[in-house]
Amino acid sequence: MTSNPAPPLTVALGDRSYAIVFGDGLQRSVAAQVRALARAGRRAVVVTDTRVARRQRAALQAMFGGAPRRAVPAGETSKSLAVFGRLLDFFAAEKLDRGGVVFAVGGGVVGDLAGFAAASYLRGIDYFQVPTTLLAMVDSSVGGKTGINLRAGKNLAGAFHQPRGVFVDTRLLRTLPRREFAAGMAEVIKTGLLGDAALFGELERQAVAPGDSRLAAVVRCCCEIKAAIVAADERELAPEGGRALLNLGHTFAHAIERVAGYGTYLHGEAVAIGLGAAADLSRRLGLIVERDAQRVRAVLAAHGLPVRLRRPLSAARLMAATAADKKARGGERRFVVLRGPGQAETRSGVPAALAEACFRAAGAK
């Protein structure tokens, strides 16, 4: 039975605006969208990963029936040129034309990869996001950032390509492993830190766990904050602040993922370490006091997230990786820093020694 506990949320982008639909059981809504496309003569295909294909077999059948599907290997390593090319070949083999539609069903890897393939095929076809992880629901499925990783760094090839709609079905979280749920909470904590002190305070008072009655409201709150930021600065062109604020902790996190090897840490786990490092950097810059940095680390730990590297990584290699971060401008690293829970800003000109000290404090050598 379909249930809609919260009204849809609109990402306001003019003629490219779209709705984020929330519910606890949205299979019928997705199936209705697929049927409507078919009636309009538009062919739909599904991109998912092997883990979702196994765990959500019945849901996939209910939503998409016999629509062609391609399951990519689960994990960050699928965000590659090779898998990207195979998806384009899949679209061509299914004879998708410019009216073709892609449904991305999975976590952030699937959404980023399938979205970039949709952006590239025939110079751009429509796609919908059906996120199956908490991280994808609160962050990567919203905003139209698509992409893959290169050897030089994370998400260095991609496109801004907005979906035609997002279906956030919290029922899909019931089969999510606890480690992946925790990884998603890293992005929730990030959202509270950068723009909603009340949300951060709620997470600080009591950690959110799978099945928590607050979960649906927390997911919608994060989507609402991100939708507003994306509507104001879709392509991350604001000289300061803007969409770049969504990268709080990510300059550190992306470097960790690259140096450790993609897949060693879940993205949310790397983000958690990065949030701790960003709080440490903010303290070293005199923007917050040690008590605030401790609060950030305590909330992360309460949600089962790491605040230190599991094994030491080279501080020199981590610093080199930050130089390739896509937020860098004019060859200068940019970090997102905190002025307190709910208040963040971008900062250029951070001394390299300070950033390296934060890596070392997190367990680099």
Q: Residue 72, SS3?
A: strand
The pLDDT, as a whole number, for residue 280 is: 98
Q: Let me know if 161 is a catalytic residue.
A: no
Give me the catalytic one of 79, 161, 250, 327. Answer: 250
Q: Let me know if 145 is a catalytic residue.
A: yes
Give me the catalytic one of 161, 267, 303, 327. Answer: 267
Average pLDDT over residues 108-128: 98
Q: Let me know if 303 is a catalytic residue.
A: no
Separation CA 115–CA 31 (nearest Å):
20
Are the beta carbons of 202 and 57 closer than 8 angstroms? no
The pLDDT, as a whole number, for residue 7 is: 86
Are the beta carbons of 233 and 338 closer than 8 angstroms? no
The pLDDT, as a whole number, for residue 333 is: 87
Separation CA 259–CA 255 (nearest Å):
6
Separation CA 16–CA 68 (nearest Å):
26
Alpha carbon dihedral 345, 140, 90, 52, in 10-degree steps, equals: 150
The pLDDT, as a whole number, for residue 327 is: 67
The pLDDT, as a whole number, for residue 1 is: 32
CA 120, 167, 109, 329 torsion-angle sign: positive
Give me the catalytic one of 51, 190, 220, 226. Answer: 226
Q: Let me know if 243 is a catalytic residue.
A: yes
Give me the catalytic one of 39, 95, 123, 174. Answer: 123
The pLDDT, as a whole number, for residue 37 is: 98
What are the phi and psi torsion angles at 170 (to 5°)?
-65, -15
Q: Residue 97, SS3?
A: coil
**3-state per-residue secondary structure call for 4-17:** CCCCCEEECCHHHC
Q: Let me know if 95 is a catalytic residue.
A: no
Give me the catalytic one of 76, 180, 187, 234. Answer: 187
Average pLDDT score over the chain: 95
Closest among 128, 109, 120 to 26, alpha carbons compared: 128
Q: Let me know if 327 is a catalytic residue.
A: no
Separation CA 309–CA 335 (nearest Å):
20
Q: What is the pLDDT of residues 128-182, one digit of tens each?
A: 999 999 999 999 999 999 999 999 889 999 999 999 999 999 999 988 999 999 9
Q: What is the pLDDT of residues 65-110, one digit of tens each?
A: 999 999 999 999 999 999 999 999 999 999 999 999 999 999 999 9
Least trusted range by pLDDT, from 34-38, 43-47, 211-215, 291-295: 211-215
DSSP 263-321: TSS-HHHHHHHHHHHHHHHHHHTTSS-HHHHHHHHHHHHHTT--SS-SS---HHHHHHH
pTM: 0.93
Q: What is the pLDDT of residues 234-273, one digit of tens each?
A: 999 998 899 999 999 999 999 999 999 999 999 999 999 9
DSSP 318-344: HHHHHHT-TT-BTTB-EEEEEEETTEE
Of all residues in the chain, the percent with pLDDT exceeding 90 is 92
Give me the catalytic one of 236, 269, 284, 327. Answer: 236
What are the phi and psi torsion angles at 309 (to 5°)?
-65, 140
The pLDDT, as a whole number, for residue 325 is: 74
Q: Let me know if 190 is a catalytic residue.
A: no
Give me the catalytic one of 220, 254, 303, 333. Answer: 254
Is a pLDDT exceeding 80 seen at residue 326? no
Are the beta carbons of 322 and 281 closer than 8 angstroms? no
